[in-house]
Amino acid sequence: MTFSRKLTMLAACLACVTAAHAGAIKEDKDSLFKPTGKGWGELDLDSMSHPERAATLKAQRSANLTYQGGPVMVAPTKVYYIWYGSAWDSASQNVLNNIASHIGGSPYFNINTTYYNASNTHVVNQVTLAGSTSNAGTLGSKLTDANIQTVVTSAISSGALPLDSNAVYFVMTDKNTTATSGFCTQYCGWHTNTNFNGQNIKYAFVGNPETQCASACGATSPSPNNTPGADAMASIFSHELEEAVTDPDGNAWYSTQSGMENGDKCAWNFGTTATASNGAKYNQTFGTMKYLIQQNWVLQPSQACAQHYP
């Protein structure tokens, strides 16, 4: 769905947007796309080169999220990685393993505990990296959305990863792999769900922008861990994780005015940053490693982007 088409729908029928969101499940990919030509840093809506889009984004970002009644991931969340492609290196994998191992319990992920389900049960600040597997590239380097789902389901079918409805499976593609429905031009990542072997499983795509679209999807050099692709993927991973937890099936927490989920509200908004010894900007520390991670939308005490909660 293109941004302009979405606007047309918004003007025509608010209920249509809601229905489309719930039906399509997959988030509005454009919401996680930093317009090209914009340097690294905050997405500055006052100086965007497209004033109409800037005005629209401002309106969308000011609209509060509301609860639409669907399930929320209130059990401790497990992360499973699928390293896709043959160009992964251990330093890059370490950056992404470390954030998945330490984001749970952090003041940053605690933002998600302000979200709750129909029983008023809140998200818990617990995430574990429960497993990972590799796929050297059995479906080639240009993945369709269906291919990405197959990468996930085949990892489960083969026994490489368990079937787990309290997990989010992340397809982490290497720098040589792209996603044909719009990686780099429409989105940097996305999340969705499907029914598989009787379970509702959640999965996400996170692309590696290092050589394909560094400016569009936020890969800089220097980067906090000197792994530009993986450092950029860490923020995209966080975005998709927090959306999968609070809106796993696309019918829980989002804005009925814009379709935005929590991560979308604060995409490319980093808040206060510091400068690491290598000159890279960072704003979060997980374990002992530094990251530049977008803010997330907190519901309490009032709805806003935040770096941590409380």
Min dist. Cβ of residue 61 to Zn ion (A): 12
Closest CA to 248 of 151, 183, 165: 165
23/301 with CB nearer Zn ion: 23
Span of 2-10, 169-177, 219-227, 242-250 interacting with Zn ion by CB under 5 A: 242-250
27 lies in the binding site for Zn ion (CB under 5 A): yes
Q: How many residues bind to Zn ion according to rule CB under 5 A?
A: 6
Q: x/- string (CB under 5 A) for Zn ion, residues 201-240? A: ----------------------------------------
263 lies in the binding site for Zn ion (CB under 5 A): yes
68/94 with CB nearer Zn ion: 68
Min dist. Cβ of residue 145 to Zn ion (A): 16
Q: Which residue in the set 17, 21, 29, 32 belongs to the binding site for Zn ion (CB under 5 A)? A: 32
Angle at 262 between CA 183 and CA 231, to 5 degrees: 50
Span of 28-36, 48-56, 108-116, 200-208 interacting with Zn ion by CB under 5 A: 28-36
Environment class of 112 (CB within 10 Å of its CB; exposed 0-12, middle 13-18, buried 19+): buried
104 lies in the binding site for Zn ion (CB under 5 A): no
137/249 with CB nearer Zn ion: 249
43-47: long-range contacts (C-beta < 8 A, 24 or more apart)?
43/267, 43/268, 43/269
CA distances, 204 to each of 25, 65, 189, 217 (Å): 12, 21, 7, 16
Min dist. Cβ of residue 242 to Zn ion (A): 9
By DSSP bridging, strand 281-282 and strand 274-275 are antiparallel
> Are 119 and 150 within 8 A, CB to CB?
no
250 lies in the binding site for Zn ion (CB under 5 A): no
Span of 88-96, 157-165, 206-214, 241-249 interacting with Zn ion by CB under 5 A: 241-249
* Contact footprint for Zn ion (CB under 5 A): 27, 31-32, 243, 263-264
